[in-house]
A = this chain, B = another copy of it.
Amino acid sequence: MQKDTGSGGTSTSSGPTSRFRRRKSSNEVPPEDDKANGSHLLVNDHNKYKSMLIRTYSTVWMIGGFVLIIYMGHLYIWAMVVVIQIFMAKELFNLLRRAHEDRHLPGFRLLNWHFFFTAMLFVYGRILSQRLVNTVTTDKFLYKLVGRFIKYHMVTCYFLYIAGFMWFILTLKKKMYKYQFGQYAWTHMILIVVFTQSSFTGANIFEGIFWFLLPASLIVINDIAAYIFGFFFGKTPLIKLSPKKTWEGFIGASVTTMISAFVLANILGRFQWLTCPRKDLSTGWLHCDPGPLFKPEYFTLPEWFPGWFPWREISVLPVQWHALGLGLFASIIAPFGGFFASGFKRAFKIKDFGDSIPGHGGITDRMDCQMVMAVFAYIYHQSFVIPQSLSIEMIMDQILMNLTYEEQRALYMKLGQIIMERQFGES
């Protein structure tokens, strides 16, 4: 496929969710080449409709499964993310694998997975440790065990990594150096760029499913809208890197995404199941005060508003303004994740990263923008959303988790002293 420079448009895998698709052709050829062929080619293209059917079918199944998992809860959503991460790692590890060299290096593939699971223990250990503590507080023995685990978590991961590092050096084979160092670097790039980035999704889930579901949906909506707008109105090429993407698709998708973000946040923001943070690792029902962000504010529409509009008053959740920030990012910057991936594929003459989903190519191909978005959603949430009152709770958790009873008392005394001193200093 990857050398096909014709314009028949038989591509089955850079599918409907590819962004800002140009109308004329679905092949990755430089724009000069397919300008020559008219846009009429689309009509003659039977394969295109067949492959669209396959894609639609697998898409419906994916969406159904996804909704079920959302309903099941935080732990299951996180498990889904982990499974996706394992598939992505598998696809990417295999990408630069050369069977001939590997035959001379027994156990060398295993090393990749050793590093993968070390990274997993490290990243998820950090994200989930507090929740793990909260889950076992009732059992004194488990509580102590988990406390130990957290205290020595970093040093454990470090020694696992060092073990892999020494394993790598001790199994270096003459004449294989270049291949082995190349693989080592590649493994690290995957773990950092793909695994670590996508792990932010895990953190978002436990901050409230809302913070995972809204960004992820916006990426999908932007994808589909770009495809549709590009399909019907696409004319002006957007970027040389991806000749199928057009300005019409890009702009149409941006507007759609912004509107969807605003509306979707209003809908999702009304379910406590989605807005409450999950502070432990159980899967039971959630109740919480969702805080001011999710409390509707009512605006009366001005008099001059057209009479046919059904409502005289609208309710807006403050979180909807944040949703616009996420929408802006999802439509303007996240697509660069896709450009990066397609540039990478062109540089190394790869058609797709894998073939895990029928009609969609590899899982990694569908996740490029999602990863960029997950990191942004996390940082946005941490920097602009978490209210000050929550940070009291975070420090409180730290105190209860890290300090012994005596130390907690000592801290209490010390803090009281400082507050007293300040009071006297001011009055």
Interface status of A188 (Cβ within 8 A of chain B): yes
Interface status of A35 (Cβ within 8 A of chain B): no
Give the CA-CA distance A402 to B375 in the complex, in Å.
23
- Count of chain A residues near B, Cβ 8 A: 67
Partner of A162, one of B192, B333, B422: B333
Cβ-defined contact, B158 with A379, below 8 A: yes
- Chain A residues 363 to 412 lying within 8 A of chain B, measured CB to CB, are 375-376, 379-380, 382-384, 388-389, 391-392, 395-396, 398-400, 402-405, 407-412
Cβ-defined contact, A177 with B383, below 8 A: no
Cβ-defined contact, B399 with A403, below 8 A: no
Nearest-Cβ distance from residue A6 to partner chain B, whole angstroms? 20
Give the CA-CA distance A240 to B176 in the complex, in Å.
13
**Copies of this chain held together in the complex:** 2
Interface status of A172 (Cβ within 8 A of chain B): yes
Partner of A192, one of B188, B240, B339: B188
Chain B hits for A412, CB < 8 A:
412, 415-416, 419
Cβ-defined contact, A395 with B391, below 8 A: no
Which residue of B is nearest A333, CB measured?
B162
Which of the segments A46-54, A100-108, A147-155 contacts the partner chain?
A147-155
Chain B hits for A124, CB < 8 A:
none
* Given A177-B346, A408-B418, 19 further pairs, Cβ under 8 A: A30-B174, A154-B379, A154-B382, A155-B382, A166-B333, A168-B340, A169-B241, A169-B339, A180-B347, A185-B185, A185-B189, A188-B193, A388-B404, A389-B407, A395-B411, A400-B418, A412-B412, A412-B416, A415-B415
Partner of A347, one of B181, B382, B403, B409: B181
Cβ-defined contact, B408 with A419, below 8 A: yes
Which residue of B is nearest A151, CB measured?
B383
30 A-B pairs with CB atoms under 8 Å apart are A151-B383, A155-B382, A158-B375, A158-B379, A162-B333, A165-B340, A168-B340, A172-B240, A172-B343, A178-B347, A178-B348, A181-B343, A181-B344, A181-B348, A185-B185, A185-B189, A188-B192, A389-B407, A391-B403, A392-B403, A392-B411, A392-B414, A395-B403, A395-B411, A396-B414, A396-B415, A408-B418, A412-B412, A412-B416, A415-B415
Interface status of A57 (Cβ within 8 A of chain B): no
Chain B hits for A414, CB < 8 A:
392, 396
Interface status of A271 (Cβ within 8 A of chain B): no
Which residue of B is nearest A406, CB measured?
B388
Give the CA-CA distance A380 to B395 in the complex, in Å.
24
